[in-house]
Amino acid sequence: MFKYKLGIIGAGNMSGAITGGILSGGKISPKDIAVSDIDADKLTVLAKNGFNTTSDNKYVVKNSENILFAVKPQSFSRIAEEIRGDLKAEAVISIMAGIDTTKLSEYFGKDKKICRIMPNTPCVIGKGICALTFVNYDEKDKPFIFDIFGNLGETAELSEDKFDAVTAVSGSGPAYVYTFLDAVIKGGVINGLTAQEAKLLAISVFKGAAELAGLSDKPLSELIKNVTSKGGTTEAALNVFESKGLSGVITEGVNAAANRSKELGR
């Protein structure tokens, strides 16, 4: 009989987002969760919020029904070797980039339930998206996973062969947005706005435009057309973007990220 419903190895930023989502969601009690990490300060905060904490990874894997790996990918091999013989969990969950389900199955057994998840950084404020793929899971077992990760934003169940593209689009995507935002803010400052004024306007535009695109059934090309008047200000900006090949450059960048993800996973 397992002592904990979920054991989490690692208490970094994304792990913190997950435990925060668990607290706000209310579907899983912190007393049913154990977290291990070497950072005593992080464990102290978790303990104050009702989570069971330890620095002993073996204790967690011996006593938890589901194990979530929330550590850096480069630490995985060392930790996996450390706990391999003690892991009694029915399911292994991973948010580690570049560690695929095949590798997880090789370490912990081909009969294990494996769930691989690709979150992104906006998950820390509950506005992210998590792509999920499952191995050996029955449909009745999946709600537990969605109860955890649904609190971090949107979820999308996809086949694992799409995860390099997921990494390139949603995993790396926030950095693309910040890069474009930074450029727009700089353009505002050049034309007389303060940095704070330009930031407020630019972020509001991104939020509103993204939400409108999500709610609209119109293609993005039509939404662009709705903002653009012939001979107007928007057209002047778009003409520069087109002349500089901005759209193609962005697509090339996403493709480079996907190719790099494939390289790292080999």
Q: Is the pLDDT of residue 86 over 90?
A: no
Model pLDDT, residue 11: 95
Model pLDDT, residue 244: 97
Is 29:90 a contact under the CB 8 Å cutoff? no
Q: Is the pLDDT of residue 26 over 90?
A: no
Model pLDDT, residue 1: 73
Share of the chain above pLDDT 90, in %: 88
Is 147:33 a contact under the CB 8 Å cutoff? no
Model pLDDT, residue 33: 96
The CATH architecture assigned to 171-264 reads Orthogonal Bundle (1.10)
In sequence order, the 6+-apart residues with CB closer than 8 A to the CB of 37 are 9, 10, 11, 12, 15, 43, 53, 55
* Domains of the chain by residue range: 4-164, 171-264
Asked whether this chain's domains 4-164 and 171-264 adopt the same fold, the reply is no
Share of the chain above pLDDT 70, in %: 100
Question: Tens of pLDDT along 116-147?
Answer: 999 999 999 999 999 999 999 999 999 999 99
For residues 12-37, give the mean pLDDT. Answer: 93
For residues 162-191, give the mean pLDDT. Answer: 96
For residues 12-32, give the mean pLDDT. Answer: 92
In sequence order, the 6+-apart residues with CB closer than 8 A to the CB of 126 are 21, 24, 151, 152, 153
Q: Is the pLDDT of residue 253 over 80?
A: yes
Q: Which pLDDT band, with edges at 50, 70 and 90, does 95 fall under?
A: very high
Q: Is the pLDDT of residue 88 over 90?
A: no
Distance CA 9, CA 203 (A): 35
Model pLDDT, residue 159: 97
Question: What stretches of the chain show up as alpha helix (H) in DSSP?
Answer: 13-25, 40-48, 57-63, 73-83, 101-108, 142-149, 163-166, 173-190, 195-215, 220-227, 233-243, 246-264
Cβ-in-10-Å burial (0-12, 13-18, 19+) of 47 comes to: middle
Distance CA 30, CA 22 (A): 8
Q: Is the pLDDT of residue 169 over 80?
A: yes
Q: Which pLDDT band, with edges at 50, 70 and 90, does 85 fall under?
A: confident
> What CATH fold (topology level) applies to the domain 4-164?
Rossmann fold (3.40.50)
The model carries a pTM of: 0.88
Q: Is the pLDDT of residue 84 over 90?
A: no
How many angstroms separate the Cα of 94 from the Cα of each of 41, 47, 129, 139, 203? Answer: 24, 23, 15, 18, 32
Q: Is the pLDDT of residue 220 over 90?
A: yes
